[in-house]
Amino acid sequence: MDAVQFNIKIDQQQVADLFRRAPAAAVARFSKMTLRNAIRIQREMRERAGVGVTGDLRRSVTYTIDTHGLSAEIRPTASYAEAVEWGSPPRHVSAAPGTPLARWADQKGLNPYAVQASIAAKGTVAHPFIRPTYDAMRPVVERDMADDVAAFVREMNNGRV
């Protein structure tokens, strides 16, 4: 599901210089920044995913932070997230009791097998939420990261780190 995820990476020459000058302080600072932005992006992606009928897609949006805390991945884990984001061509989808389609159709008061037949004949329409999250959050995260790096540089130059 590489096509439906949001990655944060910290990669600037100034940051590399900070890591050489004060490695422990830099890792701690940027780990907090990565976590803060991962949570912020997760919240935005969940809002854009919409609650739907079951809320499964929204709840499936998670983040993972790498072992150094300098990289985060924010993505939905629901098996159907890609079909929601991009739409899908006609295909078979199980309408067996307990499947996401059956639960959704039941809560909408629809016959799950009729919905299954429609998807098999027409596919599904895209309801993007990942790309719009990326487009909305990229400038916010970039600004936050730039501000935090600048503040950290000032603190180091003033001897506070």
45-59: pLDDT as tens digits: 999 997 777 888 999
Higher per-residue confidence, 21 vs 115: 115
Residues whose CB falls within 8 Å of the CB of residue 18, separated by 6 or more in sequence, listed in order: 26, 149, 152, 153, 156
Binning the chain into helix, strand and coil, the percentages to the nearest 5 are 60, 10, 30
Model confidence, pTM: 0.79
Q: Which two tokens stand for residue 122?
A: 């027409």
Q: What local confidence, expressed as pLDDT, does residue 5 receive?
A: 64
89-128: pLDDT as tens digits: 999 999 999 998 999 899 999 999 999 999 999 999 999 9
Using DSSP, state whether 7 is helix, strand or coil.
Answer: strand
Q: What local confidence, expressed as pLDDT, does residue 136 receive?
A: 96
Among residues 86, 80, 121, 126, which one has the least CA distance to residue 103?
A: 80
Query: Exposed e or buried b for every residue in 79-93, given b needs 16+ CB within 10 A?
Result: ebbbbbbbebeeeeb
Per-residue pLDDT for 2 more than 80?
A: no
Q: What local confidence, expressed as pLDDT, does residue 150 receive?
A: 87
Q: How is the chain split into domains, by residue range?
A: 6-86+127-157, 88-124
